[in-house]
Amino acid sequence: MVSPSFPALRMRRGRSAPWIRAMLAEHRLHPTDLIWPLFICDGKGCEEQIPTLPGVSRWSVDRLADKAREARDLGIPCVALFPNTPAGLRSDNAGEALNADNLICRAIKAIKDAAPEIGVLTDVALDPYTAHGHDGLVDERGCVKNDETSAILVEQALVQAATGADIVAPSDMMDGRVGAIRAGLEREGYCDVAIMAYAAKYASAFYGPFRDAVGSRGLLKGDKRGYQMDPANGLEALREVALDLAEGADMVMVKPGLPYLDVVAAVKREFGVPTFAYQVSGEYAMIEAAASAGAGDRDALVLETLLAFKRAGATGVLSYHAPLAARLLSEG
């Protein structure tokens, strides 16, 4: 017999069946919440598997049309492009970043020809093009030069916008580069090209497989702690976001994702702007390793982690699991 003092409200009533759990769900995940990062390699008819990112490949430009149509058919609204620039085209001044026929520009054209309704987000940073692996020009002491780098980033963004990029995403963490890029886009008439600023990008240990994917692992002299954020700092992220918004960013990003959900939540709460998170390569690799070891169900792990981003306040998530997640969501 239940004591009269037993609470009248039983929380389990709202969890008793699938229909009521669905009806009372506070957050929902949908394919339109996803951005799919794609890696590009030189050549034709190529698929290069990335050992540290099992299930993820680099694709030659001619193979990207199929990826764009796949994204469209899955309901994924946007893809993000990252090149593996051939070693012979990397240089200290990152000149290939300004080549209107580089891998990124050819990829933009291929995707827009195949599926013009798919949004294209492009990375604005110099590390895929530098021989030293840093995100900018380096002085004789090995320090990245802020203002000189920003000037090149403006030109890089203009080259990408002229080719058809819908969103340019500066990931370099140079001070003032968002304002410079916005001014450049406005000056040249690219008023409709959006900026997604990597506003809170941390100097993280989770980026290793990405560096394999873009061919920069082993090139880097030193580290990126002189310009990427210290993982110990949270309030600093709010200052970074405030500056990027004041300079004209349309959207902001927190990177990495799951270890920084507190930052995602704080940014969304403080500013109320479109806030994205990047579920980075190391996060993806950990889920794959857990699934391969039998430590968890891949599908469940993917959906639960992506839903955590939404619960924290993320508008959307860049994830290598995007096509898997979209399929799972469409299956109900």
Catalytic residue check, 44: no
Structure tokens at 217: 């692992």
Give the CA angle between residues 302, 306, 310 to the nearest 5°: 165
Sign of CA dihedral 257, 260, 263, 268: positive
Q: Closest Cα partner for 130 from 111, 106, 156?
A: 156
Could you tell me the maximum CA-CA distance found in the chain, to the nearest angstrom?
Answer: 80
Catalytic residue check, 201: yes
126-160 exposure pattern, b = at least 16 Cβ within 10 A, e = fewer:
bbbbbbbbbbbbbeeeeebebeebbebbbebbbbb
With left for phi above 0 and alpha for psi between -120 and 50, is residue 189 left, alpha or beta? left
| Element (DSSP H or E) covering residue 37 | strand 34-41
Is residue 270 a known part of a binding site? no
Distances (CA, A) of 117 to 141, 174, 185: 46, 32, 22
| Element (DSSP H or E) covering residue 122 | strand 119-124
Q: Give the integer Cα–Cα distance in Å for 22 and 7.
A: 24
Question: Which listed residue (67, 224, 255, 310) is catalytic?
Answer: 255
Name beta bridge partners: 36.
79
Question: Which listed residue (67, 201, 224, 268) is catalytic?
Answer: 201
Q: Give the integer Cα–Cα distance in Å for 204 and 281.
A: 11
Distances (CA, A) of 35 to 213, 278, 287: 18, 9, 18
User: What residues form the annotated binding site?
Assistant: 240
Active site members = 201, 255
User: What residues form the annotated binding site for Mg(2+)?
Assistant: 240
